[in-house]
Amino acid sequence: MKKNMKGILKLVMAGTLALSLAACGNNGGGTTGTNNGTDKANEGSTGGKKENITITFQNIYPDPTDPKNIIMKKIVKAYEDENPNVKIELDSLNTDQQKVKLKTQAASREVPDITVVNPAAQMKPFVDAKLFAPLNDMLDQNGLKDTFQEGILDFYSFDNNIYALPDGNNIGLVYYNKELFEQAGVKVPTTFEEMVDVVKALKAKGIQPMAIGEKDSWTGSFLFMNVLLRTNGPGFLQEVLDGKKTFEDPAFKEAADAFQNLIQAGAFQEGATSFDYNAGENLFKTGKAAMYYMGSWATGGIETSTINGKAGVFKFPTVNGKGDPNEFMLAPGSAFAISADSKHLPETKDFLNYFMINFPKETFSAKGAVGLAQKVEGDFKAAGYSDMAMEVLDMFKDVKGGDIAFDNTMNPATAQAHLTSIQNLFVKKNDAANVAKEHQTAYESNK
């Protein structure tokens, strides 16, 4: 009986143990046996046999049909062929699993050689705990730093050190289904109020206006933050952090009201809060919903779906006449970081350098280069990118700043309270003042 009671704890501990064992296994295998013998050989001649090592590469590309997975395997294979003494062991997990696994590993300082983190506030606890190695020196090798877009690395820098290299840089867009728009006789909205009318018109025709995967509550938050970006202009959360504003600011309440107008107009599918990200996106990708607000990373998936050719994009419109559609929700992507405790730090840096140098080239030829964090050379049109992809690429040129997601700006506890508060709006109406208060209370108690 007692054994049963502590099941949860046991599970957690067993999990931790298994993880740490696995980590030990990976790192230990290469070094312990060969260390003494081969070090000398290395010093002497370049032609000598190098030490056999294994680098663990934790990543979030588990789906073998996903172009990113294919690209990753290709680059890894090429590197292993060039460096026969290095074995790259892939630890591919989906996003949520990876987040939890990394936190568990971090708690016991068993971070894999290469791992994946999210920008700014989300990676700060890891950096504060000195778990990651600074990558400045590695970025200077082979001109890697210059391949990145202007300013993107700032989201991964703390005290002038860069700790992670992003695989993407995206913006928030509204995808729409041209065919369904035609059926309902509606045009692309240029204001938020028009968008609410479009929702009503679609609804009247029996067409599901918008899709969202609100079980993963960041999806609703991402959209809400875009409304806030319009009513307030960029930098609201930073102003809150700097103590210049509170969540009870009129701009925040206005955003909460506008956002609820959209929900109350029946924009989102019934039971939206039980749809996870993929299920929500699938509604749009199978032509069952007319609009879908998401980061530009969704472009590739939509292109390979059944509605390819029927889908278009538009910029998120102004709200109550406020805001600039050329200010976007910016989504600097998940990024690769290297463990400070890595047993093979130089080799790991060398590999990641090689990986990132080749990443843009390979993604470009795999038609996945929309929303990369690195500069891509080549003619997209000639390479066969779709019209929608070209539209998205053009929008990138219009970007005049914007905001990053809530959980990239605020600490995790405040972010969770925010996500809950927004998710709640999908199931019941709440006074804007209450929403503001919930946010302010959570922010103050978690400062």
Residue among 7 and 321 whose Cβ is closer to another protein: 7
Following CA atoms 298, 300, 304, 305 in sequence, which dihedral angle do they give, to the nearest 10 degrees?
10
Q: Cβ neighbours of residue 52 under 8 Å, at least 6 residues apart?
A: 30, 34, 85, 86, 87
242 lines the binding site for another protein (CB under 8 A): no
Counting beta carbons within 10 angstroms of the beta carbon of residue 150, is it exposed (0 to 12), middle (13 to 18) or buried (19 or more)?
exposed
Residue among 306 and 445 whose Cβ is closer to another protein: 445
C-alpha distance from residue 306 to each of 291, 302, 328 (Å): 15, 8, 28
Residue among 296 and 408 whose Cβ is closer to another protein: 408
Q: Which of 129, 204, 383, 390 forms a contact with another protein (CB under 8 A)?
A: 129
Residue among 17 and 383 whose Cβ is closer to another protein: 17
Calpha distance 315→352 (Å, rounded): 35
Closest distance to another protein from the beta carbon of 351 (Å): 25
Buried b (16+ CB within 10 A) or exposed e, 307-344: beebbbbbbbbbbeebbbbebbbbbbbbbbbbbbebbb
| Torsion sign (Cα): 280, 282, 288, 291 | positive
100 lines the binding site for another protein (CB under 8 A): yes
421 lines the binding site for another protein (CB under 8 A): yes
62 lines the binding site for another protein (CB under 8 A): no
Calpha distance 292→53 (Å, rounded): 45
Residue among 277 and 336 whose Cβ is closer to another protein: 277
Residue among 23 and 319 whose Cβ is closer to another protein: 23
426 lines the binding site for another protein (CB under 8 A): yes
Closest distance to another protein from the beta carbon of 26 (Å): 21
Q: Which of 27, 219, 231, 269 forms a contact with another protein (CB under 8 A)?
A: 269
Q: Which of 81, 128, 150, 379 forms a contact with another protein (CB under 8 A)?
A: 128
Residue among 261 and 424 whose Cβ is closer to another protein: 424
Residues from 137 through 166 that contact another protein (CB under 8 A): none
Q: Which of 190, 427, 433, 444 forms a contact with another protein (CB under 8 A)?
A: 427
Closest distance to another protein from the beta carbon of 275 (Å): 8
447 lines the binding site for another protein (CB under 8 A): no
| CA nearest neighbour of 229 among 22, 403, 430 | 403
| Torsion sign (Cα): 424, 429, 434, 437 | positive
7 lines the binding site for another protein (CB under 8 A): yes
Residues from 396 through 415 that contact another protein (CB under 8 A): 411-413, 415
Closest distance to another protein from the beta carbon of 111 (Å): 10
Closest distance to another protein from the beta carbon of 107 (Å): 5
271 lines the binding site for another protein (CB under 8 A): yes
Start-to-end C-alpha separation, the chain: 41
Residue among 21 and 107 whose Cβ is closer to another protein: 107
Q: Which of 256, 272, 311, 404 forms a contact with another protein (CB under 8 A)?
A: 272
Closest distance to another protein from the beta carbon of 103 (Å): 6
| CA nearest neighbour of 365 among 378, 375, 355 | 378
Residues from 207 through 226 that contact another protein (CB under 8 A): 208, 214-215, 217
H/E stretch holding 290 reads strand 289-295
H/E stretch holding 30 reads helix 7-44
Residue among 126 and 155 whose Cβ is closer to another protein: 126
SS3 string, 87-128, reads EEEEEECCHHHHHHHHHHHHHCCCCCCEEEECCHHHCHHHHH
Closest distance to another protein from the beta carbon of 274 (Å): 4
Closest distance to another protein from the beta carbon of 446 (Å): 8
Contact indicator for 423, 216 with CB cutoff of 8 Å: no
Closest distance to another protein from the beta carbon of 409 (Å): 15
Calpha distance 397→441 (Å, rounded): 39
Contact indicator for 424, 434 with CB cutoff of 8 Å: no
The length of the chain is: 447
98 lines the binding site for another protein (CB under 8 A): no
107 lines the binding site for another protein (CB under 8 A): yes
Q: Which stretch binds another protein (CB under 8 A): 6-14, 52-60, 173-181, 292-300?
A: 6-14
Question: Angle, to 10 degrees, between the axis of helix 412-427 and the axis of helix 432-445?
Answer: 160
5 lines the binding site for another protein (CB under 8 A): yes
H/E stretch holding 213 reads none
Count how many Cα atoms sit within 13 Å of the Cα of residue 407 in the half-sphere of its side chain. 21
Residues making contact with another protein (CB under 8 A): 1-10, 12-14, 99-100, 103, 106-107, 125-126, 128-129, 131, 208, 214-215, 217, 269-274, 411-413, 415-417, 420-421, 423-424, 426-428
